[in-house]
Amino acid sequence: MSIDLTDEQKAFTEAVDDFCRREAGTREQRGDSPHHPGLYRRMADLGWLGVTVPEEYGGSGAGMVDTCLFLEHAAYGQAPVGGFTTSAIVAAAVQRCGSHEQKKTVLGGLVDGRVYAIAMSEPEAGSDVANLSCRAVRTGDGWIVDGQKTWCSNAHIADTVLLVARTGGSPGDHHGLTMLLVPADAPGLRINGIATMGGREVNDLYLTGVRLPADAVVGAVGEGWRQLMAGLNTERLILAAVMLGTAQRAFDDALDFIRQRRQFGRPVGSFQALRHRVADLATEIECCRLLVHRVATLVDRDPLRVLPRESSMVKLKTTEVARQVALAGMQMMGGYGYATEYDMERHVRATLISTVYGGTSEIQREIIGKTYGL
Ligand SMILES: Cc1cc2nc3c(=O)[nH]c(=O)nc-3n(C[C@H](O)[C@H](O)[C@H](O)COP(=O)(O)OP(=O)(O)OC[C@H]3O[C@@H](n4cnc5c(N)ncnc54)[C@H](O)[C@@H]3O)c2cc1C
């Protein structure tokens, strides 16, 4: 690895690697689901889920560099703790904008092993998030929410969903959006799994007359868009770090295979066609690692500075490289890469969609291009 880590960071990543080898090293241990409540609980007990959480709320108060190291190594170790990604994104939003009470509940909840989900997307509001129409209307003592959300990762295992709803303006307006905390068991909220090639980790949410107290609002009423923008660094780095770990895993799995597999009397990895491909993929992964580390370092240096160019670059590059590595890994493994007996087909499925969620590659390119005044 090309990044200089402190002794503490080395010890931390070694502990995560060791845990993953021991506790999630086999298919039987990992199970079929991307989220294993027992292993998540064990990680909570080890204090790792609170890596992003300030000490006053029970976490270790580490920065984005450490958080990215945790995510990268947990993904590399194939730890089935998929619920952590959205939980960390929600916790970061609450940490930035929430009240002390909300921080105690949500940040403390993450440390204790609870899962959180975030619901922005709607059937008519995907890349165009501001087009959302799910509406929260003020009542005497709180809010009533009606509408539909879609593609909400982990809502079916979540304690609470961070909902972005319209409290003013019309679909298309950036103003008039508000963040609200909705308990997953709130009367009037129905959560339906969506069948996908990756399983059933995403959900449609139907909200019919869901009543929320006044203090469900996170941050300021009508300021949801600004609050979402302020969270871009964190959200994109989190997704990037997971894909960096997944890319490295797919690479190492492919390398192991092509060293062993013999055709024409020699290991297939010794053919120049594969050797050069390995060289290209290794170089791309190293570029991603440096970029993740660089952007995380910038965020730690000044957590309030929004980095639209850098955070889009890190999400764009790592997700596209992860997909490239997994597809190349499958090709290099021949038919075996396609068999469910090996993990490569899972890496392919996991990486294929990473260029879509959290803002598609096209949208990331739009954002980067605009930062050059175009
Ligand atoms: C597995 C998965 C998990 C998800 N998890 C969550 C979640 O937890 N919470 C949540 O709120 N959402 C989540 N999403 C939703 C995700 O963020 C959206 O799917 C994504 O933003 C794209 O929206 P869309 O699917 O409606 O595609 P569309 O916006 O309809 O885009 C279709 C195509 O058009 C392109 N396109 C659109 N606009 C432009 C443009 N201006 N310029 C160039 N190209 C453009 C897109 O890049 C894409 O290729 C998830 C999605 C998936 C698949």
**pLDDT tens per residue, range 89-107:** 999 999 999 999 999 999 9
CB of 87 shorter than 6 A to ligand 1 = no
Grade residue 76 by pLDDT with cuts at 50, 70 and 90. Answer: very high
Topology of domain 7-114 in CATH is Butyryl-Coa Dehydrogenase, subunit A; domain 1 (1.10.540)
**Residues 24, 30 contacting (CB under 8 angstroms):** yes
Residue 126 makes CB contacts below 8 A (sequence gap 6+) with: 151
CATH of domain 231-370: 1.20.140.10
**pLDDT tens per residue, range 36-47:** 999 999 999 999
Q: What is the share, in percent, of the chain residues with pLDDT greater than 70?
A: 99
CB of 121 shorter than 6 A to ligand 1 = yes
Cα(167)–Cα(311) distance, integer angstroms: 28
Cα(305)–Cα(316) distance, integer angstroms: 20
Which amino acid, 18? D
**Residues 122, 163 contacting (CB under 8 angstroms):** no
Q: Identify the pLDDT of residue 189.
A: 98
Lookup result for tokens 């509001």: 125
Q: Identify the pLDDT of residue 171.
A: 93
Record the tokens describing residue 279, joined without a space: 């060289």
- What is the distance in A from the centroid of ligand 1 to the CA of 120? 11
Averaged pLDDT, 14-35: 95
- What are the Cα distances from residue 169, in Å, to 31, 135, 173, 191? 46, 10, 6, 27
Cα(214)–Cα(188) distance, integer angstroms: 17
Which atom of ligand 1 sits closest to the CA of residue 154? 8
Record the tokens describing residue 226, joined without a space: 């600004």
**Residues 87, 235 contacting (CB under 8 angstroms):** no
CB of 366 shorter than 6 A to ligand 1 = yes
Hey, which residues does 206 pair with through a beta bridge? 148, 190
Which atom of ligand 1 sits closest to the CA of residue 129? 21
Ranges for all domains in the chain classified under CATH 2.40.110.10: 118-222
**pLDDT tens per residue, range 175-205:** 999 999 999 999 999 999 999 998 889 999 9
- Global pTM value: 0.97
Q: Which residue has the higher pLDDT, 292 or 32?
A: 292
Averaged pLDDT, 281-309: 96
Is 235 one of the catalytic residues? Answer: yes
Cα(292)–Cα(298) distance, integer angstroms: 10
**For a pocket test of ligand 1, which of 356, 361, 364, 374 has the largest count of ligand atoms closer than 8 A to its C-beta?**
356
Averaged pLDDT, 150-157: 98
- What is the distance in A from the centroid of ligand 1 to the CA of 359? 6
Q: Identify the pLDDT of residue 371.
A: 98
Cα(21)–Cα(374) distance, integer angstroms: 47
Average predicted confidence (pLDDT) for the chain? 97
CA triple 332-248-371, angle to 5 deg: 110
Q: Identify the pLDDT of residue 2.
A: 65
CB of 120 shorter than 6 A to ligand 1 = yes
Q: From the CB of residue 187, how many other CB atoms can be counted at a distance below 10 Å?
A: 9
Pairing of strands 217-218, 262-263: unpaired
Grade residue 32 by pLDDT with cuts at 50, 70 and 90. Answer: confident
Averaged pLDDT, 5-14: 96
**For a pocket test of ligand 1, which of 121, 164, 201 has the largest count of ligand atoms closer than 8 A to its C-beta?**
121
- Helix, strand or coil for residue 112? coil
CB of 153 shorter than 6 A to ligand 1 = yes
Residue 53 makes CB contacts below 8 A (sequence gap 6+) with: 59, 60, 61, 91, 95, 107, 108, 110, 111
Q: Identify the pLDDT of residue 3.
A: 81
**pLDDT tens per residue, range 255-283:** 999 999 999 999 999 999 999 999 999 99
- Helix, strand or coil for residue 70? helix
Ranges for all domains in the chain classified under CATH 1.20.140.10: 231-370
Ranges for all domains in the chain classified under CATH 1.10.540.10: 7-114
Say whether pLDDT at 1 is over 80. no
**pLDDT tens per residue, range 204-250:** 999 999 999 999 999 999 999 999 999 999 999 999 999 999 999 99
Say whether pLDDT at 170 is over 90. yes
Topology of domain 118-222 in CATH is Butyryl-CoA Dehydrogenase, subunit A; domain 2 (2.40.110)
